[in-house]
């Protein structure tokens, strides 16, 4: 399936990039990545706040989250706080 929010960067690797403003004048963007493991499950690297359309695409990719093996947040900017 072709997605509008998730970008397939290579075989088994998708990235979601979203706006993330640190001030009214600075948008540094934020992202999360989905890596398909040999088992067919996914490792999610980082998290971000995303749209309903992105959620639908993530749900489609990961069988409503059932295929997510682990989530690794690498720093506080990916907590959504």
SS3 60: helix
pLDDT along the chain (81 residues), means of 10: 89 84 68 94 90 95 98 71 50
Burial of residue 24 (CB within 10 Å: 0-12, 13-18, 19+) is: exposed
Q: Which two tokens stand for residue 69?
A: 């093996």
* Global pTM value: 0.80
Mind listing the pLDDT tens digit for each residue in 42-64?
A: 999 988 878 899 999 999 999 99
* Domain extent listing, the chain: 7-76
């Amino acid at each position: 399936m072709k997605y509008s929010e998730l970008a397939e960067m290579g075989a088994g690797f998708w990235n979601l990039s979203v706006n993330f403003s640190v001030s009214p004048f600075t948008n540094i963007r934020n992202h999360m990545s989905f890596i398909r493991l040999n088992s067919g499950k996914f490792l999610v690297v980082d998290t971000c706040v995303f749209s309903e359309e992105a959620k639908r695409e993530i749900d489609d990719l990961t069988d409503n989250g059932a295929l997510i093996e682990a989530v690794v947040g690498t720093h506080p900017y990916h907590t959504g706080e």
